[in-house]
Structure 1
């Protein structure tokens, strides 16, 4: 008989407030488990640039902290793969003490990324051969512009299953594909014994069995830690799987935890504050309308369009007058969103505006979760270059009545293409995703160009702080 314990996390999203408790729990089980061996995995989205220290260090602080969790293997999520520029991901794991398994991502020349393995073989102390395969969510619309070649799950698994055939006793997938796709994988590849999953932020408190395959996931943000017990016979055949999850809130807090959490945030804040971006005039001081107006100008300028659309819920705080730095921008616009240049026929632009206006009241206070959004409510939509008269249902572009047969380009966000409220964008829009800059970086570059810093500005601000 052999007993294995598998500890797992997913979708930590840089929620460092849970890291001290998670670390202690992992260390305790790794050292004291009533099992023959313990393995520890993470299923992606461990990094989120909405935390100032993750942003300031381009994820290197996440790797440093995760090294102390003693992972045996991880895979990546869309936050690592899409929210980071290509070169940042290329070097994200330079100092990692754990392997990355990821079968469905390639460089543009179809070579394997130097930091990843499509699969990995582990052998337990009692000789059980474990095959690990990693998969991440396949988003060609966004991986392609970021200079990656993403592969669909079916073609990837067909290839990997042939490659590893006959070389394992236990097949485990580490996936960042969501429960729906995990069920699809279990149905189409019944050889899979266990899926350690993430992406859909689903809490499977006791796991989910789909045919022969067990699927596990711990929700999001480190609110839970996964802990699975597996029993195998002497011939290395799997007898049973018993998944469970541990609520992080139920774990004891120790002196120093809060100081560690605060120190990580404050260090990130300090690093970002060192980078001044622009010197804003008084009209921007705590005025959300001014912030959204200049941000509309910024994304239109970046996309090379006359038209643009943004929503007020994106702005978690307004801008301020005087020196604005990278922390100010990160605090105001923490979302890992990219600008999209969308081409629409006039009749379709009219329909998009009608979708906006139809949903306007509902969205103004709609609590939105996911799709790269890091705020609370969607808010009110503002346009650049567009006016809508709902009494006549006419749309005016640059002061002229919209021409239904003309072609228009509008700057929007990938977020608006993904959410279900504006289907025109995804159904008939010709969408060009513009990488690698985030929304806040686009806005920051525009502000620095139009409100450049002068030495006298810095001197005057320092003088005021000293008084």
Structure 2
């Protein structure tokens, strides 16, 4: 009889406040477990650029910290694959001490990424062959513009299973596809013994079993660590799988934890504060609507449109007057969202505005979670170039009554295409996802051009020139 312990994490999202406790727990089990062997996996979304250190280092700080967790393999989530520009993902794992398994992502030309394997056959100390396959959520609308080919799950499994046939005794998937798709995989590919999953932030405290397959997830943000006990017979077949989870809040703290956590934040904050963006005039001082207005200008300029829309809940803080830096913008707009240029016929633009206006009061205080949103409430929607008359229900575009048969282009966010409140965008919009810049990077670029940071000598010269001679 062979015994294994499988430790696993998912959807850590750069919640470094839990990393000291997670690291100690993983090391303790890895070093003292009575099992024949301990394996440690992560199921993706380990980084989130809403943390200043992840943003400042483009995820390299995450890799350094994860190396201390001694993972045997990981897969990636959408935060690594979509929220990062193509070039950043290409070099993200240069210093990683663990393999990245990802069977359903290719380079634009169809070749394998140099940093990933589609599967791995791991042989235990007692000779059991474990096939590990990694899968991430298949989002062609956003992977495509980021110069990747993403493969559907069924297509991928139908390709990889014949490749590994006869090479394994146990089949384990590392997936970042969500519980519903994990269940689909278990139903359609019953040869899977265990799925270590993520993406839907589902806490399965004792796992769930569908048919032959066990499915596990640990929720989100490092609140829990997965800990699975496996028994394997002398014939190398699995006898039992017993999943459980450990609440990180219940693990003991140690002196130095808080200092480490604060140090990671302040290190990223300092790096971002050194990167100056713009010198904003007094009108921006603590005025959130001024931030919204200039951001509407920014995304419209970036998308090459006259029209734009944004919601106030995106702005966690207003902008300030004077010199602002990348930390100020990262703090105000932490969301890993991208601008979308949507082309709509006038009648469909009218319907989009009606959807906004119908939901306006509901959304103003609606607590929104997910879809790249890092705020608390959706907030109020503001337009650029669009006016709505509630008495007549007429919509005016740049001062002219909307033409139902005319094509219009509006700058929105991928977030608005994905949430359910504005279905017109997803159903009839011709949507171009604009990569690689985030929303805050688009805003930063616009502000730096419109309100450039000038040298002190230039400012003195301007002030001197303004005095009468």
> TM-score by structure 1 length?
0.98
Q: How does 1:15-30 map to 2 (within 5 A)?
A: 15-30=15-30
Alpha-carbon shift at residue 391 of structure 1 (Å): 1.2
Alpha-carbon shift at residue 457 of structure 1 (Å): 8.0
Distance in 2, Cα, partners of 1:42 & 1:458? 51
SS at match of 1:318: coil
Residues 303 and 411 of structure 1 are in contact (CA less than 8 Å); yes or no, is this contact kept in structure 2?
Answer: yes
2:174 counterpart residue number: 174
Deviation sequence 1:240-260 (CA, Å, 0-9, x none): 100000000000000000000
SS at match of 1:125: coil
- Hey, which bits of structure 1, 4+ residues long, moved more than 2 A? 457-460
2:241 counterpart residue number: 241
Which consecutive unaligned segments of at least 5 residues does structure 2 have?
Answer: 461-469
Alpha-carbon shift at residue 400 of structure 1 (Å): 0.7
2:109 counterpart residue number: 109
1:38 counterpart residue number: 38
Indicate yes or no: 2:333 matched with 1:310: no
1:368 counterpart residue number: 368
Distance in 2, Cα, partners of 1:295 & 1:155? 41
SS at match of 1:277: strand
Deviation sequence 1:379-401 (CA, Å, 0-9, x none): 00000000011111100000111
Alpha-carbon shift at residue 237 of structure 1 (Å): 1.0
SS at match of 2:445: helix
Alpha-carbon shift at residue 99 of structure 1 (Å): 0.1
SS at match of 2:244: strand
Alpha-carbon shift at residue 34 of structure 1 (Å): 1.7
Deviation sequence 1:269-295 (CA, Å, 0-9, x none): 000000000000000011001000000
Distance in 2, Cα, partners of 1:434 & 1:109? 20
Distance in 2, Cα, partners of 1:458 & 1:206? 65
Indicate yes or no: 2:371 matched with 1:349: no
Distance in 2, Cα, partners of 1:272 & 1:353? 37
Alpha-carbon shift at residue 125 of structure 1 (Å): 0.6
2:162 counterpart residue number: 162
Alpha-carbon shift at residue 24 of structure 1 (Å): 0.2
1:97 counterpart residue number: 97
Alpha-carbon shift at residue 458 of structure 1 (Å): 9.6
2:81 counterpart residue number: 81
Deviation sequence 1:67-112 (CA, Å, 0-9, x none): 0000000000000000000000000000000000000000011000
SS at match of 2:379: coil
* 1:457–1:378 Cα change, 3 Å: farther
Distance in 2, Cα, partners of 1:210 & 1:343? 43
Residues 41 and 71 of structure 1 are in contact (CA less than 8 Å); yes or no, is this contact kept in structure 2?
Answer: yes
Deviation sequence 1:94-133 (CA, Å, 0-9, x none): 0000000000000011000000000001010111000000
1:415 counterpart residue number: 415
SS at match of 1:38: strand
* 1:279–1:38 Cα change, 3 Å: same
SS at match of 2:97: coil
Residues 10 and 46 of structure 1 are in contact (CA less than 8 Å); yes or no, is this contact kept in structure 2?
Answer: yes
Distance in 1, Cα, partners of 2:330 & 2:156? 37
* 1:439–1:162 Cα change, 3 Å: same
Distance in 2, Cα, partners of 1:214 & 1:12? 22
1:464 counterpart residue number: none
Which consecutive unaligned segments of at least 5 residues does structure 1 have?
Answer: 461-467
Deviation sequence 1:300-332 (CA, Å, 0-9, x none): 000000000000000000000000000000000
Distance in 1, Cα, partners of 2:391 & 2:365? 23
2:431 counterpart residue number: 431
* 1:19–1:354 Cα change, 3 Å: same
Distance in 2, Cα, partners of 1:458 & 1:262? 37
Deviation sequence 1:50-72 (CA, Å, 0-9, x none): 00000000000000000000000
1:4 counterpart residue number: 4
Q: How does 1:280-359 map to 2 (within 5 A)?
A: 280-359=280-359
Alpha-carbon shift at residue 25 of structure 1 (Å): 0.2
1:266 counterpart residue number: 266
Distance in 2, Cα, partners of 1:317 & 1:373? 14
1:121 counterpart residue number: 121
Residues 323 and 457 of structure 1 are in contact (CA less than 8 Å); yes or no, is this contact kept in structure 2?
Answer: no
Residues 77 and 176 of structure 1 are in contact (CA less than 8 Å); yes or no, is this contact kept in structure 2?
Answer: yes
Alpha-carbon shift at residue 459 of structure 1 (Å): 8.2
Distance in 2, Cα, partners of 1:456 & 1:385? 37
SS at match of 2:297: helix
Residues 104 and 136 of structure 1 are in contact (CA less than 8 Å); yes or no, is this contact kept in structure 2?
Answer: yes
How big is the alpha-carbon RMSD for the aligned residues of Structure 1 and Structure 2? Answer: 0.9
* 1:407–1:25 Cα change, 3 Å: same
Distance in 1, Cα, partners of 2:71 & 2:285? 46
Residues 187 and 211 of structure 1 are in contact (CA less than 8 Å); yes or no, is this contact kept in structure 2?
Answer: yes
Distance in 1, Cα, partners of 2:185 & 2:459? 60
2:132 counterpart residue number: 132
2:231 counterpart residue number: 231
- Size of the alignment, in residue pairs? 460
* 1:239–1:447 Cα change, 3 Å: same
